[in-house]
Amino acid sequence: MKLKVVRNKFLNFYKKKKHIIMPHINLKLNENKLMFVNSGMIQFKKFFLGRKSKYKRICNVQPCFRVSGKHNDFEKIGYTNIHHTLFEMLGNWSFRNYFKYDALFWTWELLINKFKINEKKIWITIHENDFETYNIWRKIGISNKRIIKKKNIKKKFFLNENFWEISNNNGPCGTCSEIFYDMGKKYKLKNQRYVEICNNVFLQYKKKLYNNKYILNKLKYNYIDVGIGLERLTSILQNVNSNYKIDLFKKIINKISDKIKIKNINSLKIISDHIRSACFLISEKIYPSNNKHGYILRKIIRRAIREGYKSNIKNPFFYKISSILIKEMEDFYPFLKKNKNNIKNVIKKEEEKFFNIYKIGIRILNNELKKCSKKLDGKFAFKLYDTYGFPIELLEDICLKNKILIKKKEFFYEMNKQKNNFLNRN
């Protein structure tokens, strides 16, 4: 079952359950603590906080971006089978309408009856004090052995892996129940064997700080927030052990491997992941820069270029992959096709800038490396970074190949000194 089909089947399933299909929102946010949309519930947060929703039942597909703040998966990309900088979240919500019983029964109906997932492969986690959820799962037919009760930390109800809250300090919160898929005994590590595919969140409390202690009060209305990772679900339905082996990424990776001659599997994962993020961000008029959203985009593009550099590719290549990604996703996200030429031009321009920096920086660096034996001077590293714009990550890669360490304390000392001087001047 192709990813496109999985996406549409999810929406049609909840449409038949009288849910309104709501469009996704842009990834870019301008909140103080959040730069990008990192979960499906962001656009509905106001309803959880008390505002009345026009619709009681909603479903949608929301692109989510996790490379900054509390949820930052950037360093995991390329080294796991399930993480992405950008992923698609399938979500359904209830605002003052149905609650635990319907939410869990419909989730089970979707996964087992609609998508035909082997129920013997399913494991459930719940909050140890959430007896109602436990009884519903038992009524559905889940064996007691397959329901894992997560223990409270320090005997506090809200300190539990299966307790979810919008904010760590105060606001709507509640217990949740996660659904995991067992990939099989051949995977020795738990985080590889058991893959989370769905989370049912039951918002029924408000957390509040009172006399230096947190207390929970019942909300006037109950809410449901269900999230399913599209790529993870698709990998299960396509019977593959990695998100990067599903049809979407398989096509991109095959093109990269065949046309650009990159063979390293970690590099292929990183490049195929990063082209999707770059295309989405640029389509929202975010451009590479040294500030906020633009800095994140630049970081993503340049990391992909570095992976190409590791395979001895020293000319622009990343922009060529954009057309493959856009062709695969333009049906559901038509703005990608609309911005196709701009996306390609922005990426190519950033690549050309990077390789110009590289040519200047590598000449200076090679001269310095001839002088040092085991450690590279941190002041020099910072000058290369600050004056010439030579990426510290690329510098680390080159030094690693030459078995040379960078004096990072000196590097960060110089960086902090510059920051302080800037703040004092302004």
Which superfamily does 3-241 belong to?
Bira Bifunctional Protein; Domain 2 (3.30.930.10)
Residues 213-234 have pLDDT tens digits of: 888 889 999 999 999 999 999 9
| Tokens read off for 93 | 């919500």
- List, for residues 186-205, the tens digit of each pLDDT value: 887 777 889 999 999 999 99
Q: Please tell me the distance from the alpha carbon of residue 99 to that of residue 102, in angstroms, as a whole number.
A: 6
- Please, what is the average pLDDT of the chain? 91
Q: Give the residue extent of every domain in the chain.
A: 3-241, 246-371, 372-425
The 10s digit of each residue's pLDDT in 42-62 is 999 889 888 999 999 999 999
Instruction: Kindly tell me the burial class for residue 121, based on how many C-beta atoms sit within 10 Å of its own C-beta (0-12, 13-18, 19 or more).
Output: middle
CB atoms within 10 A of CB 269: 23
pLDDT (average), residues 150-158: 87
Tell me the whole-structure pTM to 2 decimals. 0.89
Q: For position 309, what pLDDT does the model report?
A: 82
- First-to-final CA distance of the chain: 57
Q: What is the pLDDT confidence band of residue 422, given thresholds at 50, 70 and 90?
A: low
Please work out, in degrees rounded to the nearest 5, the angle formed at the alpha carbon of residue 324 by the alpha carbons of 321 and 325: 90
- Can you give the pLDDT at residue 49? 84
**Mind listing the pLDDT tens digit for each residue in 304-347?**
998 898 888 888 999 999 999 999 999 999 999 999 999 999 99
pLDDT of 120 above 80: yes
